[in-house]
Amino acid sequence: MRTVDQSHGSPFDDPRSAPSPVVDVSIRIRSADGVEADLALTRPRGATAGLFWLPALGVAARHYAGLAEALAARGIALARHEWRGHGSSSVRASRRCDWSYRELLESDIPAALDAVSRAAPDLRWSIGGHSLGAQLATLTWLRRPSDLHGLAVVAGGVPWWRHFDGAQALAFRAVLATLPLVTAAVGYFPGRRLGFGGREARGVMRDWAASAMTGRYAHAGDRVSPAATARPVLGIGFARDGLIPRSALDDLLARTGSAASTVVVLDARDLAGVTPDHFSWMRRPEPLAHRLSTWLHTASESA
């Protein structure tokens, strides 16, 4: 993957990349507070539509390389955002280094969106994400819908405990109650050791837990923009996703206010035999890429 300086125009104007049908570039993004990370941009020749992609909690952008390849084969560019604190990010969560949704929504994501718009200004960009990425993609969509042609929610939903049933709801509330104790003791959330997420900042987990307890997002804004209601939204769920009940997906989609939303729930037959749960689709992303690309081509043409 070639690394380029985001301040020097589009890397796709470089004649050195002309022979390749797919161009991969890495753009170094610098946020307002100096934190840096790489944006991985995969663009097939002739693409007219692109998807700006936000990963799941604790998942580095490199793990979506297969999705980028599968979308490129279908004529769609993919820009993979890197979460602060993961992968190519210049920082790691610690007691002395903390951040919250605010930094992600107000600094990191806007900087990356601006960079990808400069790198490929001729593409019609939509935004999407997986799990937590789908939630923050939705919040970004509500903040700047005029810049984006569509929203794709994959295995995402409002993580409100009331969307879960019985014992699962009680267990979830117990987990939420322990989060402040864990992060206070360690200085960050040790997700790798606990089997959920990665090494996460206290502030990120605090904001996630707040939405799980109340069903509300502190950074969602007061109202839905009229521009958002007119743009298409796609929601993709998985039949055996124990982390995202259908009601959680529907709740998140309802908050977009879109009058043009489509919901698809995929099962094992749709995924060529892959277990239709929260993460397994990543091992064989072609079926999901087919759904996304079909919708993205339509969304970019109709917007």
- Whether 186 is covered by a domain: the verdict is no
- Whether 209 is covered by a domain: the verdict is no
- Whether 37 is covered by a domain: the verdict is yes
Q: Which of 86, 47, 13, 50 minimizes the C-alpha distance to 292? A: 50
Q: Are 219 and 115 in contact (CB under 8 A)?
A: no
| Matching residue, tokens 């959330």 | 189
Amino acid at 74: R
Question: pLDDT tens digit string along 1-26?
Answer: 555 544 445 554 443 333 359 999 99
Question: pLDDT tens digit string along 133-185?
Answer: 999 999 999 888 778 999 999 999 999 999 999 999 999 999 999 999 999 99
| Matching residue, tokens 């600094």 | 107
pLDDT of residue 303: 58
Domain harbouring 47, CATH code: 3.40.50.1820
Bridging pattern class, strands 151-154 and 76-80: unpaired
Query: Which residues, including other chains, have CB under 8 Å from residue 178's CB and lie 6 or more apart?
Result: none
- Whether 30 is covered by a domain: the verdict is yes
∠ CA 155-28-102, nearest 5°, is 50
Q: Domain count of the chain? A: 1
Annotate the chain with three-state secondary structure.
CEEECCCCCCHHHCHHHCCCCEEEEEEEEECCCCCEEEEEEEEECCCCEEEEEECCCCCCHHHHHHHHHHHHCCCEEEEECCCCCCCCCCCCCCCCCCCCHHHHHHHHHHHHHHHHHHHCCCCEEEEEEECHHHHHHHHHHHHCHHHCCCEEEECCCCCCHHHCCHHHHHHHHHHHHHHHHHHHHHCCEEHHHHCCCCEECHHHHHHHHHHHHHCCCCCCCCCCCHHHHCCCEEEEEECCCCCCCHHHHHHHHHCCCCCCEEEEEECCCCCCCCCCCCCHHHHCCHHHHHHHHHHHHHHHHHC
pLDDT of residue 50: 98
- Whether 214 is covered by a domain: the verdict is no
- Whether 207 is covered by a domain: the verdict is no
- Whether 130 is covered by a domain: the verdict is yes
Amino acid at 92: R
Range of the domain at 41: 2-156+225-302
- Whether 17 is covered by a domain: the verdict is yes
Cβ-defined contacts of 191-197 (< 8 Å, 24+)? 191/57, 191/58, 192/58, 196/57, 196/58, 197/57, 197/58
pLDDT of residue 19: 39
pLDDT of residue 230: 74
Residues of the chain with pLDDT under 50: 5-8, 12-19, 222
